[in-house]
Structure 1
Amino acid sequence: MTTTPANKTTLVMGASEEPTRFANRAQIQLQQHGIPVVLVSPKYKTINGVTVKQSLNEVSESIDTVTVYVRPEILESSLNAIIHLAPRRLIFNPGTESNELQKRLINSDIEVINDCTLVMLSENRY
């Protein structure tokens, strides 16, 4: 396990309590790497002992990275709120990519990465 400063806080968009879901695995792996997480999902109150924000409007923490586990159609409706949070980067996990949304994020000075958070963590590229 590596120690990561709090300024690496990662928002998990589409958090899930289901152990088979990649968002759940990402939450656990991020925490095991010492990375603080903020979970966003309208479906849950807590996941693995972490309080879940029902929407991005509830997020007050400084966010370094947003890792996406929702379809582009869902992300699009939240894009302005993400841009307002001004994360350093956003990771489109496989199946969540959108060229149109990527352009809007890049135009807002947010780095866009098309990759898998779990693979990035396992290869020390996070």
Structure 2
Amino acid sequence: MNKKILVLGATIKPNRYSNMAVRKLLENGFEVKALGNKKGEILEVAIYTSKELFKNIHTVTLYLNAKNQKSYYDYILSLKPKRVIFNPGAENVELEKILTKNNIKFERACTLVLLSMEEY
């Protein structure tokens, strides 16, 4: 099961959904990488602030609104993920079209709900 997940839009603030997602993904046995505006840590996961070229990312789960995603388009494509999850508030038709052109699956879903239903 050990899929590697990138949480894009991660924060150390425990009341934010991106933080909860990192914690829940870890609880469910996933390897988690995190990228955000400010360095920090969520449990043992470092939050990077630069576009690290992580290897073997299975899923990118987005916690950024569409406007804030633009600067990450090429980065997301460079990771060659199997899928991208647009969490509520992160929906982005423009990026969905780019992903489709590049044969990357996407879904509009909530990482926390998928995990709670064991459908991640």
What is the DSSP-based 3-state SS (H/G/I as helix, E as strand, rest coil) of the residue aligned with 1:34? coil
Q: Percent identity?
A: 38
- 2:88 equivalent among 82, 87, 94: 94
Indicate whether 1:68 and 2:62 are aligned: yes
Measure, in 2, the Cα distance between the counterparts of 1:80 and 1:29. Answer: 27
Aligned to 1:36: 31
Measured in 1, the distance between the counterparts of 2:53 and 2:18 equals 18
Report the residue type matching 1:29 in the other structure. Answer: K
Higher strand share: 2
Q: How many residues align?
A: 120
The amino acid of 1:82's aligned partner reads: I
The yes-or-no answer on 1:116 pairing with 2:110 is yes
Cα root mean square deviation, aligned:
1.1
The answer to whether the 8 Å contact 2:6/2:33 transfers is yes
Structure 1 unpaired stretches of 5+? none
Task: Name the amino acid aligned to 1:71.
Answer: N
Q: State the TM-score, normalizing by the size of structure 1.
A: 0.90
Q: Distance in 2 between matches of 1:16 and 1:42?
A: 8
Partners of 1:20 and 1:45 in 2: CA distance: 15
For residues 116 and 97 of structure 1, what CA distance do their matches in structure 2 show? 11
Is the Cα–Cα contact under 8 Å of residues 12 and 27 in structure 1 kept in the other structure? yes
Give the Cα separation in 2 of the matches to 1:10 and 1:94: 18
Q: Offset of 1:60 from its aligned partner?
A: 2.6
State the TM-score, normalized to the length of structure 2: 0.95
Q: Which residue of structure 1 lines up, in the alignment, with residue 42 of structure 2?
A: 47
Contact preservation (8 Å) 2:66, 2:91: yes
8 Å CA contact retained: 1:30, 1:37 = yes
Listed as ranges, the gaps of 5+ residues in structure 2 are none
